[in-house]
Amino acid sequence: MRTTAPDNRKMLLKLAVIALGMFGFGFALVPFYEKICQVAGINNLLQPDTVTNTQVDLSRSVIIEFDANTHDMPWRFRPLEASVTVHPGELKTISYEVVNTRDRPVSGQAIPSYGPQHAAQYFRKMECFCFNKQTLAAGERRQMPVTFVVDPALPADVGTITLSYTFFEVEGSAGTPPRAPASQGRTS
Amino acid sequence: MSSIAHDPAHGHGHDDHAHHPTGIMRWIATTNHKDIGTLYLWFSFIMFLSGGVMALTIRAELFQPGLQIVQPEFFNQLTTMHGLVMVFGAIMPAFVGFANWQIPLMIGAPDMAFARMNNWSFWLLPVAAILLIGSFFAPGGASAAGWTLYAPLSVQMGMGMDMLIFAVHIMGASSIMGAINIVTTILNMRAPGMTLMKMPLFCWTWLITAYLLIAVMPVLAGAVTMLLTDRHFGTSFFNAAGGGDPVLYQHVFWFFGHPEVYIMILPAFGIISQIIPTFARKPLFGYASMVYATASIAILSFIVWAHHMFTTGMPAAGQLFFMYATMLIAVPTGVKVFNWIATMWKGSLTFETPMLFAVGFIFVFTIGGFTGLICAITPIDVQIQDTYYVVAHFHYVLVAGSLFALFAGAYYWIPKWTGHMYDEGLGKLHFWCSMVFFNVTFFPMHFLGLAGMPRRIPDYAVQFTDFNAIASVGAFGFGFSQLIFLVIVLKCIKGGKKAAARVWDSADGLEWTVPSPAPYHTFETAPVVK
């Protein structure tokens, strides 16, 4: 029998290195994906929007309704106004209030969603508490602003936009034991 | 094994001087490629029956609208586990079993390159299978997130999901070791004179498949590791609240998942390419183009993964790219189908069971290939995504493709493995039952999907009743037909007509130069290929 054993061992080593490399590649897909999304301008929930068209369209008004939810979190979360009326192109700031009802610090991340869904692309947020993780000390109450512009290109048939935030607890943040047992501060 | 040169004159004549333990220890401690191949094949057959029982439970529930037999939670566990068991437990190990048995015989090597690692890569599988099946008994039951284990659902599942993740890790390690073994065996241990381009096509398709396995199984391991850390260690790869993205999971999974599809079909192409020339009594038409087509399919498989995700909101440019790239795969696949047909053209055809399964494979696999093309068209996919049309499509390529090729290969080589001919009459019965019931089961699913019936749901609207009832009847027929196969195999092991060394009169290849049954050790002295 020919002895191919040394060659085989070399080959084993090479192929094992490829396999390990591909394991790393799986994880490398994570930053790669984020970069692609950033370049393609999709999924940029955490970045402020930019406004190019600053023309205020006084001829029409849009009602913006505000909604607040928490997902299994010990927080009370509500908008200070239920709705506002704006002209497309007009800069507007409103506030939400959040209270940590837990006796220890809790971190959360707010995720926005829109109704109707296709209005999302015309709703530009300059400033938003949802761009960052929020950490509230035990019992802390905080008012947080949202500054936004509705793009004048908004289709004419959209008269009302609902902006809805949901706070999710960020697990693994400092001093936060895993998941609160029950939803206490749920508003809906 | 030693480097003592045997006299080539009585090279293969001196049969079993096999020194191996007997009883159960023979199988646990074996490093012989034929024993390990047998273990793989039995393991996969047992898993095939387990996955089949799950499928029949699903079909029994879907026989009528409403909930009769199982609760929705358990139904979802069944669909999830049916997929995983069939993919990782039945189809993949079965092909590895064929590789173990046949590759050393076909290239004139005495055994696999790493015999002990070979033992280890098999014996990891039962452990993984126990974890997988055992997860049904964990608190909360098995994972019900679908075989694709999409986040965030899979992040929220109970403890069964953790067992599944470890099972996937173990099966992945087993596959990678098996693949390394196959690549090394093929590249380093071919008989003198057997150049790569003289190698049987089954070895070629397995060489390319093994590279695919080495490239993508670690990516799957990475994806489920991310799930695991998201579940238990506070990371947020797929958790939107922590800055992650569930769609990312789909990208990582399908970067593995699409090449995985070809991992399950390329060795099937190899088996068919061995069988058709034998029963057409003509050499394979377009050997070189078959090799290049296989390689092209493998390379293209890395750039089409997002066609599984057309509805995730990707940019139109992305949809177009993945649509056209996917359609491009039809070209090398078409080359293969035309080559098989050209091989049969004006051949002296006979239709023994392996050939029946091979021709049946071409017919039904091509239907599955065409429905795949339909699914690739983005605007159509948006309509049929997650409907029974997709279920019909992938069962046409996985059952009628991979599984029929496995049966074809099993009938083709079982005389070499056991030394006896199988029962031809029963074999033909097995083929016709499988073929008819397969189509009765899955053809109506095209109509169900086009009419909008969603997959993975235990109940359905009443207008889907008739087609579902037909599919369920077909499924039970198909399931019980497989017991014929079990009977044939058992009969063939026990006895039957003695098989000659060259079982099929025009079969070509080194495996037919050794006696039937193949001696425990073969090609300790390398044959010379001219």
> For B419-434, what is the mean pLDDT?
96
Check residue A58 and give its pLDDT. Answer: 87
Which one is predicted more confidently, B443 or B9? B443
B7 touches chain A (CB under 8 A): no
Q: Is the peptide bond before A31 cis (omega within 30 degrees of 0)?
A: no
pLDDT digits (tens, 9 = 90+) for B453-474: 999 999 999 999 999 999 999 9
Catalytic residue among B111, B230, B423, B511: B111
> Which positions ≥6 away from B374 have C-beta within 8 Å?
B380, B384, B393
Chain A residue at shortest CA distance from B185: A8
Which residues of chain B does A43 touch, with a Cβ-Cβ cutoff of 8 Å? 245, 247
pLDDT digits (tens, 9 = 90+) for B299-355: 999 999 999 999 988 888 999 999 999 999 999 999 999 999 999 999 999 999 999
CB contact under 8 A, B176 and A19: yes
| pLDDT reading at A35 higher than 70 | yes
Please confirm, yes or no, whether B143 is among the known catalytic residues. no
Chain A residue at shortest CA distance from B212: A19
B214 touches chain A (CB under 8 A): yes
Nearest by CB to B248, from A8, A33, A109: name it.
Answer: A33
Catalytic residue among B135, B174, B296, B366: B174
Check residue B5 and give its pLDDT. Answer: 41
Is-contact B257 B84, C-beta < 8 A?
no
Could you give the 3-state DSSP secondary structure of residue A136?
Answer: strand
| pLDDT reading at B292 higher than 90 | yes
pLDDT digits (tens, 9 = 90+) for A125-157: 888 988 888 899 988 999 999 999 998 888 989
pLDDT digits (tens, 9 = 90+) for B293-308: 999 999 999 999 999 9
Please confirm, yes or no, whether B524 is among the known catalytic residues. no
Nearest by CB to B222, from A16, A26, A133: name it.
Answer: A26
Instruction: Produce one character per residue of B410-428: b if its CB has 16 or more CB atoms within 10 Å, e if not.
Output: bbbbbbbbbbbbbbeebbe
Nearest to B111 by CA among B519, B530, B529, B417: B519
Indicate the helix (H) or strand (E) that contains A145. strand A141-150
Could you give the 3-state DSSP secondary structure of residue A166?
Answer: strand
Check residue B260 and give its pLDDT. Answer: 96
Which one is predicted more confidently, A47 or A173? A47
B31 touches chain A (CB under 8 A): no
CB contact under 8 A, B240 and A40: no
Which residues of chain B does A12 touch, with a Cβ-Cβ cutoff of 8 Å? 113-114, 180, 184
CB contact under 8 A, A1 and B1: yes
What residues does each domain of chain B span?
A: 27-513
Percent of chain B with pLDDT strictly greater than 90: 89
CA A46 to chain centre: 5
pLDDT digits (tens, 9 = 90+) for B70-118: 999 999 999 999 999 999 999 999 999 999 999 999 999 999 999 999 9
CB contact under 8 A, B217 and A33: no
Check residue A118 and give its pLDDT. Answer: 86
> For B423-452, what is the mean pLDDT?
97
What ranges in B419-518 are assigned the alpha helix state H? 424-450, 465-494
Regarding beta strands A75-79 and A92-100, do their DSSP bridges make them parallel or antiparallel, or are they unpaired?
A: antiparallel
Between chain A and chain B, the number of residue pairs with CB atoms below 8 A apart is 121
Handedness of CA A114, A119, A121, A127 (dihedral sign): negative
> For B42-64, what is the mean pLDDT?
97
Check residue B3 and give its pLDDT. Answer: 40
**For the domain bounded by A62-169, which CATH number is listed?**
2.60.370.10
Which residue shows structure tokens 């997130």?
B145
Nearest to A120 by CA among A163, A86, A87, A91: A163
Looking at residue B23, the DSSP 8-state letter turns out to be T
Is-contact B272 B249, C-beta < 8 A?
no
| pLDDT reading at B14 higher than 60 | no
CA B170 to chain centre: 18
> Which positions ≥6 away from B317 have C-beta within 8 Å?
none
Is-contact B144 B35, C-beta < 8 A?
no
Percent of chain B with pLDDT strictly greater than 70: 96
ipTM: 0.89
Instruction: Produce one character per residue of B345-355: b if its CB has 16 or more CB atoms within 10 Å, e if not.
Output: eebeeeebbbb
Q: How far is CA B64 from CA B449, B454, B466, B468, in A?
A: 17, 15, 9, 7
Q: Out of A53-62, B125-134, B203-212, B300-309, pick the least confident.
A: A53-62
Check residue B17 and give its pLDDT. Answer: 55
Task: Tell me the sheet residues that pair with A64.
Answer: A84, A161
Q: How many CA atoms lie within 13 A of A107 on its CB side?
A: 15
> For A85-93, what is the mean pLDDT?
91
Q: Out of A92-106, B47-61, B275-289, pick the least confident.
A: A92-106
Check residue B529 and give its pLDDT. Answer: 86
> For B9-28, what is the mean pLDDT?
65
Contacts with A, B 431-450, CB within 8 Å: none
B524 touches chain A (CB under 8 A): yes
Which residues of chain B does A2 touch, with a Cβ-Cβ cutoff of 8 Å? 189, 526
pLDDT digits (tens, 9 = 90+) for B372-425: 999 999 999 999 999 999 999 999 999 999 999 999 999 999 999 999 999 999
Q: How many CA atoms lie within 13 A of B76 on its CB side?
A: 16
| pLDDT reading at B135 higher than 80 | yes
Please confirm, yes or no, whether B340 is among the known catalytic residues. no
CA B495 to chain centre: 28
Which residues of chain A does B314 touch, with a Cβ-Cβ cutoff of 8 Å? 42
What residues does each domain of chain A span?
A: 62-169
Taken as a whole, chain B contains a residue count of: 530
- What does the alpha-carbon distance between residue B285 and residue B270 come to, in Å, rounded to a whole number? 14
**Given pLDDT bands bounded at 50, 70 and 90, which one contains residue A120?**
confident
| pLDDT reading at A107 higher than 70 | yes
Could you give the 3-state DSSP secondary structure of residue B137?
Answer: helix
Handedness of CA A139, A140, A143, A145 (dihedral sign): negative
**Given pLDDT bands bounded at 50, 70 and 90, which one contains residue B18?**
low
Which one is predicted more confidently, A121 or B251? B251
**Given pLDDT bands bounded at 50, 70 and 90, which one contains residue A171?**
low
CB contact under 8 A, B187 and A11: yes
Which one is predicted more confidently, A117 or B122? B122
Is-contact B191 B526, C-beta < 8 A?
yes
Q: How far is CA A141 from CA A71, A131, A187, in A?
A: 18, 19, 16
Which residues of chain B does A3 touch, with a Cβ-Cβ cutoff of 8 Å? 3
Homologous superfamily assigned to B27-513: Cytochrome c oxidase-like, subunit I domain (1.20.210.10)
Nearest by CB to B184, from A3, A12, A172: name it.
Answer: A12
pLDDT digits (tens, 9 = 90+) for B163-216: 999 999 999 999 999 999 999 999 999 999 999 999 999 999 999 999 999 999
